[in-house]
Amino acid sequence: MDKKTLVENESKVAQLFSNSKKNNRLANAYLLYGPRNAPLKETAFFLAKSINCEKDYLACDDCPSCKRFNEGVRPDFIFIDGSLETIQKEDVKDLESKFSLSALEKNHKLVYVIHQIENITDKASNALLKFLEEPKEGQIAFLTTNNLMKVLPTIRSRSIEVRIDPIDPDSFYKSLLAVPFETADSKKPRNLSDGEAYILSRLFSDVEEVKRVLLEDDSFIVGYQSAEAFLNDLATSFRTASFTLLRQNSLIKDSKCYNWLYLTIDNVFASILVNDISDINPFKEIIRPLIKKKANIERGEAVIKKALAMKQLNLSPTLISAELITALE
């Protein structure tokens, strides 16, 4: 995310933030919300960097402060990632402890980002609420969520809510196909398959996030390939697809793979429900025969969304698969 991207895609957000900083009226907390493929984390990081930019109201990427931020030198910045694991009370207490001191850099504000705030325990929510109620001067929070209704009303009431829309996923899809990526399962960079790039373009909107996912481990590749095998069989034979899904469960060992498996299936099911057989969709030949089974697909999608929302996939993948098969029958 950079100034040009923000201004072009979120002009109202850029104007709101610029005017607030210009008039020295920044809020203590901003709650950025939007769908799964909206650049919430990227926008939060850019705005956090903008807070202490020394040249402009939006991060210039040229001043010493912006350069240090881009290099990962961020003494007055804390990031808590709720997308990786549930946010605990200890995380909030650690944040509070670190921010009990003054900013380390002269004239800097203390800034923190909590990504996917909906994935937080009740105890952590209560601790964060107290932290938001009694903010220290020069302390600013950026919270993000894909599910605004799951955020405590008391936290929402103490934040400025800002909607972030997705960057055009079709354009991002084409850009992902255009360049090779290093992946954990390959010794040299390779081009993504049409299906891999399509799913990633629906889940992310920033190429750096895609690079991180692909390099971190092979869980996306394994999960995607398992989903692709199931979907190919589902288009021709429900019985074969059922055996394929159960077989994949027995082969997958890493719990993160299940998450990618069902995120992939969920995205293809969503395309089925809206009759998306456009030329750009690499799953169109899978989707065509399944459109007439929308009622079954809708039940199956409900099972997946419930499991994803409750983070059940890592706990009982075989049970989720059995529920999905039952729903699709």
Q: pTM, whole model, 2 decimals?
A: 0.66
Triad 50, 70, 61: Cα angle to 5° = 50
Split at pLDDT 50, 70, 90, the class of 320 is: confident
- Strand bridging mode 160-163 / 29-33: parallel
Output the six-digit token pair for 303: 């099972």
Per-residue pLDDT tens for 73-103?
Answer: 888 899 999 887 889 999 999 988 888 776 5
First to last CA, the chain: 44
C-alpha–C-alpha distance, residues 197 and 195, integer Å: 5
Angle formed by the axes of helices 207-216 and 219-234, to 10°?
100
DSSP 176-215: HHHS-B--TT-SS-BPPPHHHHHHHHHH-S-HHHHHHHHH
Query: Do residues 143 and 155 touch, judged by C-beta distance below 8 A?
Result: yes
So what's the pLDDT on residue 311?
58
Say how far residue 207 (Cα) sits from the centre of its chain.
13
Output the six-digit token pair for 177: 């196909």
So what's the pLDDT on residue 240?
96
Which string of b and e fits 188-199 if b means at least 16 CB within 10 Å? Answer: eeeebeebbbbb
So what's the pLDDT on residue 106?
66
C-alpha–C-alpha distance, residues 329 and 326, integer Å: 5
Mean pLDDT lowest for which of 28-32, 112-116, 173-177, 309-313? Answer: 309-313
Per-residue pLDDT tens for 112-162?
Answer: 999 999 999 999 999 999 888 887 788 899 999 988 988 999 999 999 999
So what's the pLDDT on residue 312?
53
C-alpha–C-alpha distance, residues 291 and 210, integer Å: 30
Kindly give the residue spans of alpha helices, DSSP state H, lying in the chain: 3-9, 11-22, 40-51, 64-70, 89-98, 122-133, 153-157, 169-178, 194-203, 207-216, 219-234, 238-251, 255-273, 284-290, 294-309, 317-328
Per-residue pLDDT tens for 102-124?
Answer: 656 667 888 999 999 999 999 99
Question: Cα Rg for the chain, rounded, in angstroms?
Answer: 21
Split at pLDDT 50, 70, 90, the class of 28 is: very high
C-alpha–C-alpha distance, residues 258 and 245, integer Å: 11
SS3 297: helix
Domains of the chain: residue spans and CATH: 3-163 (3.40.50.300), 169-328 (no CATH)
Please give the average per-residue pLDDT across 303-315, as a whole number.
71
Per-residue pLDDT tens for 30-53?
Answer: 999 998 778 899 999 999 999 999
CB-side neighbour CA atoms (13 Å) of 295: 1
So what's the pLDDT on residue 314?
57
Nearest CA to 172 out of 7, 3, 9 is that of: 9
C-alpha–C-alpha distance, residues 159 and 155, integer Å: 7
C-alpha–C-alpha distance, residues 32 and 246, integer Å: 38
Per-residue pLDDT tens for 201-255?
Answer: 998 888 888 998 999 899 999 999 999 999 999 999 999 999 999 998 888 877 7
Query: Do residues 145 and 119 touch, judged by C-beta distance below 8 A?
Result: no
